Amino acid sequence: MLATTGLSTAAATRRRLVAAPGQTQIVPEKFAGPTPVWAFNGTAPGPVLRVRAGGRLAADVENGLDQATSVHWHGIRIDNAMDGVPGLTQEAIAPGDQFAYEFVAPDPGTYWYHSHNRSWEQNARGLHGALIVDEPAPWKGADRDLVLVLDDWRLVADGSIEDGFGSIMEWAHGGRIGNTPTVNGRLGSQIAVRPNERIRVRLINAANARIMEIAFADLPSRLLALDGMPTAIETLSGPVQLAPAQRADLLVDFAGADGDTTPLTLQTRDGPFEMATFVLDGEPMRSEYPDPFGLPMSGPALVTDLSDAFRTDLVMEGGAMGSMQGATHQGRWMDMRELVSKSRVWSFNGVAGDMDEPLATVERGRPIVFTLRNATRWPHAMHVHGHHFRVVSRDGKPVANPVLRDTDLMMPDETIEITFMADNPGKWLLHCHMLEHAAAGMMTWFEVT
């Protein structure tokens, strides 16, 4: 039990996660058989893990794949040694080996876990799942919660996953976009709800690269949380946007009568696509809804004094239609042609994914301001490990009441300033969560000492 020294002595929730090839029925049986996937405990997405805020999760991960893997607990302000980043916080778990993760989950909310080794392939093949951190005292604002892991598989006609991982064309464009959007691993799922039930819907975008716009027809819906962290409760007037890795908790009133159906839709270029159907079933829960209320606020406080902040810039370049001439890789400058031969097409501050130097080294307890500039023609989902941040300005304009996020979607040519307190010691990644972009150069790290 050496690894637990210094952690709270309360018993941990213990789970075993086996990463191994499996099969899951993604497409309805009438169209195709089960899809061969890589799965945690045989299902894709993997099991929903739950722990109470402040409690400890012990996850024994066994690698039954024929390649190395690791698990990252996305969004958790975690002990650095448990962050799951091969080469930075641990050795990758070799085939046949295991790794015992154990950590405290400090903040209630909707999180997820996923492979962090060759994640552009392992995540797309199914190695991810939801991690729910429950409020210390049960929140009474909804009848129940519903976890919806959204994904975007690319399948061929017999239902198997299309190969072609590692295509440099895709890596230089928007990443691997699929053709089969699923909810909890099913195309066209039917989800039973009670008429007039009020549900906390936890949406997780687990796709490699697809930015999703999700809508609940005209059901009254309110925003409760983003990336796990509570927001002020707010009525939604349109679809919710979720970049890869982002989460949103919504409070949805399934108003209607027994037998009604209502869709969960994904906006696509060809119009709304019905990702799942809610089927209202049974006696109504109530005739009238009580007034809705939000989640208790939690998470790190706003950093107000930035006078002594550590500041640095991150310029994002590269990709198709960009102006990048070349970048440093493996310690020397390479032109685009040579970079492409190394599967590198993006850069941060002129460096294409070399990890020997950190972007920043900051003493613990000092505020950080990173200025991120997207000098590419593509949107990017910028993710910071181990911390939540606030976007305090966009294109020079201050953001009113900035919310906590762990992943922000940046548009082409956009510049943002993010702030957070460097309060979690260790080595932390900062990367694009379009997983092909990360693999092709959009990755760096910083150290809190």
Residues that bind ligand C2O (CB under 6 A): 72, 74, 114, 116, 245, 383, 385, 429, 431, 433
Report, in Å, the least distance between residue 417 CB and ligand C2O. Answer: 21
Q: Answer with the entry of Cu ion, ligand C2O, none that 222 interacts with (C-beta below 5 to 8 A by kind).
A: none
CA 149 and chain centroid, separation: 10
Point out which span in 34-42, 193-201, 333-341, 426-434 binds Cu ion (CB under 5 A).
426-434
Total residues contacting Cu ion by CB under 5 A comes to 4
Q: Select the binding partner of residue 418 from Cu ion, ligand C2O, none (C-beta < 5 to 8 A, by kind).
A: none
Is 432 among the residues that bind Cu ion (CB under 5 A)?
yes
Identify which of residues 81 and 233 has a Cβ nearer to ligand C2O in the complex. 81
380 binding Cu ion? (CB under 5 A): yes
Determine if 437 is a binding residue for Cu ion (CB under 5 A). yes
365: left (phi over 0), alpha (psi -120 to 50) or beta: left
**Residue 51 or residue 443: which is nearer to Cu ion going by CB?**
443
Indicate the residue among 329 and 437 with the shorter CB distance to Cu ion. 437
Report, in Å, the least distance between residue 391 CB and ligand C2O: 18
- Work out how close the CB of 383 gets to ligand C2O at its nearest, in angstroms, rounded to a whole number: 5
Contact partner at residue 72 from ligand C2O, Cu ion, none, CB < 5 to 8 Å by partner kind: ligand C2O
Nearer to Cu ion, 280 or 432 (CB): 432
Partner that binds at residue 114, options Cu ion, ligand C2O, none, CB closer than 5 to 8 Å by kind: ligand C2O
What is the binding site for Cu ion (CB under 5 A)?
A: 380, 432, 434, 437
